[in-house]
Amino acid sequence: MGELKVLGSGTSSGVPVIGCRCDVCRSTDPKDKRTRSSVWIRENNLSLLIDTCSDLRAQALLAKIDRVDAVFFTHHHADHVNGLDDLRIFNHIQRTVIPCYASTRTTKEIVRMFPYIFDGLKPEGGGKPRLDMKILDGPVDLHGVTVIPVPVMHGKESVNGFRINNTAYVTDCSFISDESARLLEQLDTLILGTLGLKSHPTHFTLKEALAEIERLKPKRAFLTHLDHSLGHEATSSILPDNVKMAWDGLEIEI
Ligand SMILES: [Zn+2]
Ligand SMILES: [Zn+2]
Ligand SMILES: [Zn+2]
């Protein structure tokens, strides 16, 4: 049995949003403080990250992450990759190159966004992450842990969710095809991206996410990648019994 920890449950701006005075941004409930979305999975002595979000350093310190055996990227948007440079600390600790799995498109974008990491030049002092970018084109088996990519649409972009055992993490998403829905059958836990209340071209609203949960029928679901229109307590009180709001630090057995 392994564990999944939600490192961050917030949308791209995080919550509170800089400069915002709304009730949720001024809330004193710790569950309304959301860093950018990412999860940490420990299974079979492996330590896996999904995404290297903008808040990776703070999240790693808080969760006491001391090892990263591999990273799986959902997609290349800034909130999901901007902590990439922080991986170099794990290179130092482990003295290994870190394998990073991503789609062809995400890999291309990451290389374009972080040219200094991939230019093959030795840095003068400082240092840079040593990463082995691996193209993700199907399930990956790492020491007995199988990570299954689940392609979903995020607006017009095809991005990846991931399934490990009977748990799936599908963050930025606005459409799940029937084919991908089949990869999400018989789940114990689905963690699903849910932006907020207002309709959005690239993310599920609360209403749409609840309809997807109805369709996919996991035993239970957690909502993540949340914006400031969804206060933890108020939203929790209107959710069906098997659906909960995720929060930073939430731990789930997988
Ligand atoms: Zn995002
Ligand atoms: Zn706000
Ligand atoms: Zn995105």
97 class by beta-carbon count within 10 Å (0-12 exposed, 13-18 middle, 19+ buried)? exposed
- Does residue 16 have a cis peptide bond before it, meaning omega lies within 30 degrees of 0? yes
On whether the CB atoms of residues 6 and 249 are closer than 8 A, the answer is yes
Task: Identify whether the C-beta of residue 65 lies closer than 8 Å to the C-beta of residue 48.
Answer: no
Structural domain boundaries of the chain? 3-13+34-247
Contact yes or no for 41/254 (Cβ under 8 A): yes
pTM to 2 decimal places = 0.97
If you measure from the C-alpha of residue 94 to the centroid of ligand 3, how many angstroms do you get, rounded to a whole number? 30
The H-or-E segment that residue 196 falls in is none
pLDDT exceeds cutoff 90 at 123: no
Domain spanning 3-13+34-247: which superfamily? Ribonuclease Z/Hydroxyacylglutathione hydrolase-like (3.60.15.10)
Strand partners, 50: 39, 72
Ligand 1 centroid–CA 242 distance in Å is 24
What pLDDT was estimated at residue 1? 83
Reported as a single tens digit per residue, the pLDDT across 46-69 is: 999 999 999 999 999 999 999 999
Q: Are 196 and 225 in contact (CB under 8 A)?
A: no
Q: From ligand 1's centre to the CA of 47, what distance in Å? A: 22
Cα of 175 from ligand 1 centre, angstroms: 15
User: Tell me, what's the pLDDT at 194?
Assistant: 98
